[in-house]
Amino acid sequence: MFFSALHAVGVADLLDIALVAVLIYALLVWFKQSKAAVVAKGMLVVAAIYLFSRSAGMIMMTALFHAFFAILIVALVVIFQEELRAIFERIAVWSLSGGQVEMATGSDKQADVLTRTLGDLARERIGALVVLRGRDPLERHLQGGFSLGGDLSEALLKSIFDFHSIGHDGAVILEGGRVTRFGCRLPLSKEGAKTARFGTRHTAALGLAELSDALCIVVSEERGTISIAQDGKIETLRGAAQLEKRLSVFYSEKQPRPRQDQVREFLKLNQREKGMAAIAAVLLWGLFVLGAKPYRQAYSVPVRVRNLPPGMRVASLSPDKIRLVVSGQMRDFYWIDTRRFEVRIDLSDSRRGSSYMRLTENDVVRPKQVLLEEIDPSGVQVELADKSVRVLESAR
């Protein structure tokens, strides 16, 4: 039934499915990269139960889910307000700048300066926190600090993080190869399990990495180690050489690339999420779009008798099957059980002999979600006889 109706799919339907698939894919990737991953799994389970309940015609369950979803939407907005704000910021940046942030041309030189300087600070046990902006705006996450706008250099970084500097406890913000601000306070991470063995600088670095795509580099004055926080995760590096590699990867990801390379990279990333999004979009289209279209179906239904008078038997019943034509929305037929169709005739007022019984809608048992349109034939011929007659004939 579902596949036979696919010939009616038009260009608008294909575009509709594609856009919904993109939206679902974006949500899946966001759930995967954020703390909402566990919530997403629960939502998928609830959504699957809701879709099954609606398709199966479970009216009370569907009504309960409608009330639940109204409350759930408000709760999700409150719980994930920071994440939602970040999503809308990324959409705005992408729409205004084509998804790219202009980076400085000398990325190799910048990586060399950062690697050499932060390596020296780690050996000297001098704490530092450097933030490299990605595509996401950072302004609303930063508090305090001082504007600078100076070119990145080893001397500048070491003077900022010198113990006697007024801004040495804060973060240095790098944008496009320039130090735009220093001495900034960052939002602290709420993931206590990830930051239990770290100090305030690491907690602040992870907090910003959870809210943006920035790369945060931390030098620990207690351990003399270099750590990186990115995409909601934090890890301690083995040394300055590994930092250089990570910086090279970060700059290459943020640099504008040829369109062909972007398409090729996109096709390789998150293939499981892409498949799930495509399947989900097709299923939703089949349920809410194709499933909403009118549909008619004919069934051959057995005839059953009830309230047979005492001492009587059915000698003949013609025909013993009736053709019923029912209609409804196509989704009403997806999981319909044909065993629920039946024609029942009431013989409580019948007498011995042959009689013609006209069938009405009251004689038809069917699922509630479909409408009865036709009964063919419109009646049955029933012949009743005494049970004793059959006994005598059997004895002979």
pLDDT in tens, 137-173: 888 889 999 999 889 999 999 999 998 888 889 999 9
Asked if pLDDT for residue 87 goes beyond 80, the answer is no
pLDDT of residue 81: 75
CATH of range 293-395; options 3.20.20.300, 2.40.50.140, 3.20.20.10, 2.170.120.30: 2.170.120.30
**Amino acid, single-letter form, for residue 111:** A
H-helix or E-strand spanning residue 128: strand 128-132
**What is residue 291's predicted lDDT score, i.e. its pLDDT?**
82
Residue carrying the six token digits 């005598």: 392
End-to-end Cα distance, the chain? 53
- The answer to whether 206 and 232 are in contact (CB under 8 A) is yes
pLDDT (mean) for 349-353: 88
Interhelix angle 240-254/107-123, rounded to 10 degrees, is 150
Check pLDDT > 70 for residue 33: no
- Residue 315 one-letter amino acid: A
pLDDT tens string 177-211: 889 999 999 999 887 777 778 889 999 999 999 88
* Listed range (37-46, 62-71, 347-356) with the worst mean pLDDT: 37-46
Whether pLDDT at 3 is above 60: no
Tell me the percentage of the chain whose pLDDT exceeds 90. 37
Helix (H, G, I), strand (E, B) or coil at 315: strand
The reported pLDDT for the residue numbered 183 is 93
The pair of structure tokens assigned to 107 is 């990325």
Q: Where are the beta strands (DSSP E) in 194-330?
A: 215-219, 226-230, 233-236, 294-306, 312-318, 321-329
Contacts of 236 (CB under 8 A, 6+ apart): 225, 226, 227
Q: Which of 301, 296, 320 is nearest to 365 (CA)?
A: 301
**pLDDT exceeds cutoff 70 at 26:** yes
CB atoms within 10 A of CB 202: 22
Query: Looking at residue 24, what is its pLDDT?
Result: 87
Residue 119, pLDDT > 90, answer yes
**Residue 380's pLDDT band (cuts 50, 70, 90):** very high
Distance between CA 210 and CA 199 in Å, rounded? 17
Question: At 391, is the pLDDT very low, low, confident or very high (cuts 50, 70, 90)?
Answer: very low
pLDDT of residue 35: 60
Do domains 107-255 and 293-395 share one topology? The answer is: no
Q: How many CA atoms lie within 13 A of 198 on its CB side?
A: 29
Q: Greater confidence, 285 or 9? A: 285
Q: How many helices (H) and strands (E) does the chain have?
A: 12, 15
- What is residue 172's predicted lDDT score, i.e. its pLDDT? 95
Q: What is the DSSP letter of 36?
A: T
Contact 348, 274 (CB under 8 A): no
Whether cis (ω within 30° of 0) applies to the bond prior to 258 is no
Give the separation between CA 382 and CA 394, rounded to whole angstroms: 22
Q: Which of 112, 99, 191 is nearest to 153 (CA)?
A: 112
Cα 327 to Cα 197, 304, 390: the distances in Å are 65, 23, 43
Q: To which CATH superfamily is domain 107-255 assigned?
A: DNA integrity scanning protein, DisA, N-terminal domain (3.40.1700.10)
pTM: 0.58
Where do the structural domains in the chain lie, given as residue ranges?
3-99+261-290, 107-255, 293-395
> Residue 1 has what pLDDT?
55
